[in-house]
Amino acid sequence: MEMFRNAMEIFILLDRSNCRKCGEKTCMAFAGAVLRGQKKLEHCPKIDAATLARYSMVQGQSTAVDDDPEASLVVLRQQVREIDLTETARRVGGEFVNGRLIVRILGKDFSVDTEGNLSSFIHIIPWVSAPFLTYVLHCQGTPVTGEWISFREIKGGRERYPLFQKRGEEAMKRVADTWPDLFSDIVSLFNGRRVEAHFDSDISVVLPVLPLVPLLICYWREADGIDSSLNIFFDQSINANLDVGAAYMLATGLTQMFEKLALRHGYTIPQK
């Protein structure tokens, strides 16, 4: 999902009544103020909640997808009802069978029907469901490039990186430090694959989070007095196939799942 490119993209979301309740003389003036960062969409008293939820991340606010996935699911499911899932299947690398769009997520089938109803053999949890629907709605079908970028390089990622680093990379590093078999286990459990070391890392693993959104985890072991390190990378095509909020949710959701799996294996993950 991209930033607003011009005031007209904001203007079409408004009721164009020029009611002035936002403090601007016209709706077009309000749209210009939002574009410049002087106003926020919620300053319009007539804009509906669904639109606010959909566009909150465009304004650089906390997103409905990564901060309130349950609420975002309502909006996303409504939007899915309005698209052609047959065409969408070709675009997102899925298949349309018996009225359902089926997409592989971490090697498991996940599907949505024309009414926005979700189905899967795995648990339907918000950190998977919301990014999945965002992918279905906004993936442009850009092929995977094999070129990896950091979360900071995703559109809108620079401002969010400190939190992503804390809840994603640093938290996952603590799991890797504690659970020796983490990477071999996630390869077998989630259809991942060990790949040639990237960025001089000791271990590099690619996870097929979505058909056109692979995720690369690179881990450097502790050595010569230098602490271990872990970084998460995304294929360069992510800027066309997913938004920053959904990317954040997928990576941090995976981290939380790895933490739970480590606990089930009897490991205690240190908390910073």
Mean local confidence (pLDDT), 196-205 = 95
More confident residue, 258 or 15: 258
Mean local confidence (pLDDT), 75-81 = 85
pLDDT at 217 over 80: yes
Taking the C-alpha atoms of 240, 244, 245 and 248 in order, what is their torsion angle to the nearest 10 degrees? 120
pLDDT band at 78 (very low <50, low <70, confident <90, very high): confident
Euclidean distance between CA atoms 33 and 31, whole angstroms: 5
Residue whose token pair is 């072991």: 221
- Mean pLDDT, the chain, rounded, equals 87
Q: Cβ-count burial of 85 within 10 angstroms (0-12 exposed, 13-18 middle, 19+ buried)?
A: buried
pLDDT for the residue 95:
97
pLDDT at 63 over 70: no
pLDDT band at 1 (very low <50, low <70, confident <90, very high): very low
Domain coordinates of the chain in residue numbers?
7-47, 69-138, 148-264
Name 105's bridge partners.
Answer: 108
Mean local confidence (pLDDT), 115-129 = 85
pLDDT at 206 over 90: yes
Name 204's bridge partners.
Answer: 218
pLDDT at 51 over 80: no
pLDDT for the residue 107:
87
Where does residue 176 fall: left (phi above 0), alpha (psi -120 to 50 degrees), or beta otherwise? alpha
CATH number of 7-47: 1.10.15.40
Overall size of the chain counted in residues: 272
